[in-house]
Amino acid sequence: MSARDLLTDPPWKAEDLGLALPQSTHAVSVSLPRWEDVVGYEEKKPEVMARLPSGYPRFVIHPLVREVARRLGGSEFSLPLPSECVAKMCVDFIYKSSGEHATAGGSGAPRTRDGASISLVETTEAGFASLRAFWQHTGLILSTRRAEAFLAGKPCIVAETDVHRSLRRQLAGFYGCGEGDVFLTPTGMAAQFAALRAVRELSPGLPTAQLGFPYVDTLKLQEKFGEGATLLHHLDTIAEDLRLLLARQPLAACFCELPGNPTLGSANVCGITPILREQGVPLVADDVVATPFNVDLSEHADLIATSLTKYIAGSGDVMGGALICNPKSPYYQGLKRLIAAQHEELLWSGDAEVIDAQAHGFPERMRRHNANGLYLAERLRAHPAIERVWYPKWEFSAVYDAVRRPEGGWGSLITFLPKNAATTAPRIYDALQFCKGPSLGTVFTLACPFTLLAHYTELEWAQACGVPSHLIRISAGLEDAQELWRRLEAALEN
């Protein structure tokens, strides 16, 4: 049976709950076609969870990964991690955060000085929440392709290959840096974690700050694995708020997303960078939503942490990330030296092959993503059923345009709030004839009630930060733009 074409025949109905998006063993999204399915997933209702054999790999442990743990003799309170070094960090975190003990053991595969072997971390029932937190927030997870190789009895040591070098070469071209300035990671969050480790070593004991409302795990990472973090979410006063914070508290670094997710405003890096440079504070930027095709952060960001899972791969069936050391940064030599010393090659070669192949088509795909995103955003903005649309062309647009490349656009991520959202948003979402589930940047359009997915246990806090509970986020794919609008308009008028 041939795989379903998600561009022309998206699974959007109730009976499609739990389908992999795309139909691949390695899919990173899963169909949550109704509002109540999202709520059921967040509340871990048995009737929903029984239909979800997999999901986004940092949040839902894949069956292949569970089987690796079982083969290694692990209990239900164990997970296989991508290297012995990562396992040791995890054991230390479990004890520090929960007081519970954990053990780490190798995979039995031949050990080499230059390769990373799978290591099982086993803990107690009380310590398992910390083990899962490490997996989710650091992004240092075992790839499903690597798990598949292990279970098939194939070699599963990770070491640098020609495909890693090819991928770094492509990324260096996108970012205008040297190949040696690109450090590959198994996920985008692992790139953020690598940045956090480096700035903490550069400035031990100092906290960090998050500039603008962030993707959920970016802030959690700083809070749980750093020295604490201050959130400055008012973008209109961000420079002054930062000055006041620095007057009270030295910082190891500031983190920001450009634009932010899900409300797509951007921190004024042109105004922020001089303040930070004056105080010797590095800026770690996340460009996942905009991508290096659309924005150039080389005059402002000292490190750029990105997810290759999203637009650069685009296929929705592979995880990967990269940390870019900006050669224009005044801290370039020191940060690069620290990152190189800490770095392990943990991006599995099978995943690197998929990303490397997909990256060749990234620039042309991104042009089409930009066009479709702008078309839908403009049509939504003019529709009478819509209360508000968030899109980088209008959210702090001067800030975004200051770093937008001459040929760059505003991306394909759009967030909107319908009028009378508490009652209309669930109905509109249920009627949307799009793929519906977590993630973004796929060639097929993907929608989700983002605040529910990311902040279900802290909805009031998100609302106080200007992020409504009933907004809907759309990652526009590469379908025909008018067909996308036909489907969206039908849901709005349903």
Strand-by-strand arrangement of the 119-123 sheet: 78-81, 119-123, 102-106
**Fold matches, 63-151 and 162-344:** no
Q: Tell me the backbone φ, ψ of residue 116, rounded to 5 degrees.
A: -105, 130
Distant-in-sequence, close-in-space partners of 194: CB < 8 Å, separation ≥ 6: 183, 185, 305, 323, 339, 342, 343
H or E segment at 473? Answer: strand 472-475
Confidence (pTM): 0.96
Report the CATH architecture of 362-492: Alpha-Beta Complex (3.90)
Q: Residue 142 has which token pair?
A: 């075992």
pLDDT of residue 4: 86
CA distance 238 to 118: 43
CA distance 115 to 241: 45
- Residues 424 and 455 sit within 8 Å (Cβ to Cβ): no
Q: Name which of 249, 133, 146, 235 is nearest 193 in CA terms.
A: 133
Q: Name which of 185, 190, 194 is nearest 345 in CA terms.
A: 185
pLDDT of residue 53: 85
Mean pLDDT in order along the chain per 10 residues (494 residues): 84 96 96 97 95 91 96 94 96 95 67 65 96 97 96 91 98 98 98 98 97 91 96 96 97 97 96 97 98 98 98 98 98 98 97 98 98 98 98 97 97 98 98 97 98 94 94 98 98 92
Angle between helices 421-431 and 35-42 (to 10 degrees): 100
First to last CA, the chain: 33
pLDDT of residue 1: 42
What class is the 63-151 domain?
alpha beta
Q: Quote the Cα angle for 96-100-106, to 5°.
A: 90
> CATH assignment of 162-344?
3.40.640.10
pLDDT of residue 112: 33
- Residues 400 and 266 sit within 8 Å (Cβ to Cβ): yes
- What secondary structure letter does DSSP report for 215? P
Domain residues of the chain, as ranges? 63-151, 162-344, 362-492
